[in-house]
Amino acid sequence: MPDIRPALGARPNLLQMSHVEKTFRGDIVALRDMNLTVNQGDFISLLGPSGCGKSTALRIISGLMRPTAGQIRWSGGQSKDDLGIVFQEPTLMPWARVIDNVWLPFRLRGVPYGQVKDDVLRALKLVGLEKFQRAFPRELSGGMKMRVAIARAMVTRPRLILMDEPFAALDEITRQKLNNDLLALREAIGCTVIFVTHSVFESVFLSDRIVVMAARPGRVIREVEVDAPYPRTEEFRTSPEYAAHCRQASDALHQAIGEVA
Ligand SMILES: Nc1ncnc2c1ncn2[C@@H]1O[C@H](COP(=O)(O)OP(=O)(O)OP(=O)(O)O)[C@@H](O)[C@H]1O
């Protein structure tokens, strides 16, 4: 399938993060003057060393946390209710079957299962788990649990999906497979993604923009554009182009680590 999304500069705006600051307990400056433009269809990675404020930025965008200063402005017709979130832990309900875990976002909105059955089954099919709909989380591998969490985040077809290091605890092969599947899913539902990671390789494979952050205080120090077209395949993962982008992102990350006071 060809990449039919508008070029980076031509995408309509989804949200704007302006001059966001977050201070904890009066003196821990987690974020300072963070500005981020998110456009429809972007796949943005927030890349940076531990403690640079990646999760804090994600929580502020989600509305789960209020900034100390600055603001998040959503473009017309959008709202923070129009998003799905995937955390590092799959956070499934252990007593509920896979299908009930995926139905949860609808259930919380009071929508009966019968009304959204097709959406729930479609989401499970997209993550390759339709045969496991009656299973309990304890019967699944780590990668499968994460697939359920992703299905749950996308079942309402949100415009924006926020992912906080979702694959960090998985082995490398499972992680690469989930990276491939995530891109395929993104094509299928056409959402925007903001993805937090420590991994240069993962960020280059997935994103079209990498926002590199430095710590103390957490701030954006560089944006790296990955202008390779989607779909991205194993061929891309072993190409000189991929290696060149990894070098660029890695240099920026070293700069970020070097800038820690
Ligand atoms: N609730 C909190 N109370 C106090 N300090 C906090 C709180 N949450 C985060 N911090 C601090 O804010 C800074 C940024 O934390 P954050 O978790 O956003 O970083 P991160 O880049 O996501 O780190 P990691 O990659 O290790 O998950 C850190 O110094 C952290 O200790």
CA distances 91 to 2, 63, 104, 152, 261, Å, are 34, 19, 12, 11, 35
pLDDT digits (tens, 9 = 90+) for 5-26: 667 668 889 999 999 999 998 8
CA distances 187 to 40, 98, 207, 232, Å, are 13, 23, 13, 11
- For ligand 1, whether the C-beta of 244 sits within 6 Å is no
Is beta strand 69-74 parallel, antiparallel or unpaired with respect to 219-225?
A: unpaired
Rounded distance from Cα 193 to ligand 1 centre (Å): 21
pLDDT of residue 123: 92
Percent of the chain with pLDDT over 90: 71
pLDDT of residue 96: 96
**Ligand 1 atom with the shortest distance to the CA of 59:** 18
pLDDT bin (cut points 50, 70, 90) of residue 76 is confident
Most informative mutation of 54, 60, 196, 253 for ligand 1 (most atoms within 8 A of CB): 54
Judge contact between 112 and 120, C-beta under 8 A. no
pLDDT bin (cut points 50, 70, 90) of residue 215 is confident
Percent of the chain with pLDDT over 70: 94
**Ligand 1 atom with the shortest distance to the CA of 216:** 29
Q: Domains in the chain, please, with CATH?
A: 25-82+163-260 (3.40.50.300), 94-157 (no CATH)
pLDDT of residue 216: 82
pLDDT of residue 196: 96
Rounded distance from Cα 56 to ligand 1 centre (Å): 6
Q: Which residue has the tokens 């989600």?
A: 62
pLDDT of residue 114: 93
pLDDT of residue 15: 92
Whose C-alpha lies nearest to ligand 1, atom 24? 50
User: How many alpha carbons lie under 13 Å from residue 43 in its C-beta half-sphere?
Assistant: 24
pLDDT of residue 81: 63
pLDDT of residue 169: 87
pLDDT digits (tens, 9 = 90+) for 150-171: 999 999 989 899 999 999 988 9
pLDDT score of 79 more than 70: no
User: In this predicted complex, what is the ipTM?
Assistant: 0.96
Average pLDDT, the chain: 90
- For ligand 1, whether the C-beta of 24 sits within 6 Å is yes
- Give the three-class secondary structure for 219: strand
